[in-house]
Amino acid sequence: MTASLKDLMAAANASVPKIDRQEAAAMIAGGNVLVIDVRDGLEIQTTGKIKGAKHIARGMLEFRADPDSPYYDQAFDRDKTVLLYCASGGRSALAGKTLQDLGYKDVRNLGGFKEWADGGGAVEKAA
């Protein structure tokens, strides 16, 4: 049976816990957390990103997260908690499921950037 986007989203949302801004802020303050913005570069140029977040566009995530990839980013560590976000939470849910499939155990979906920023979360503008 062929899966639809709806099926993929349901599986991702069932597998990757969704957290709110306050929980994410506490986790970030506690350390050992990698925050990843999976939005496109133009989105980040327009709005900025969560302070300290690493930008890895959704299309490059697997390449950056797999230690066997020539594009591996050493910021990835399977012992860290990974917090993902995008514009509304859809891409970050799918990205979280992908990271779980790659062996990352503690992956969370922060959802959308707007909720973070509107709630007073620290933001840094793109250079």
* Domains in the chain: ranges and CATH: 5-124 (3.40.250.10)
Please enumerate in sequence order all residues whose Cβ is within 8 A of that of 75, keeping only pairs 6 or more positions apart, or say none.
Answer: 34, 54
The pLDDT of residue 127:
66
**HEC-encoded secondary structure of 57-97:** CHHHHHHHHCCCCCCCCCCCCCCCEEEEEECCCHHHHHHHH
Residue range 19-78, pLDDT digits in tens: 999 999 999 999 999 999 999 999 999 999 999 999 999 999 999 999 999 999 999 999
Residue range 77-124, pLDDT digits in tens: 999 999 999 999 999 999 999 999 999 999 999 999 999 999 999 999
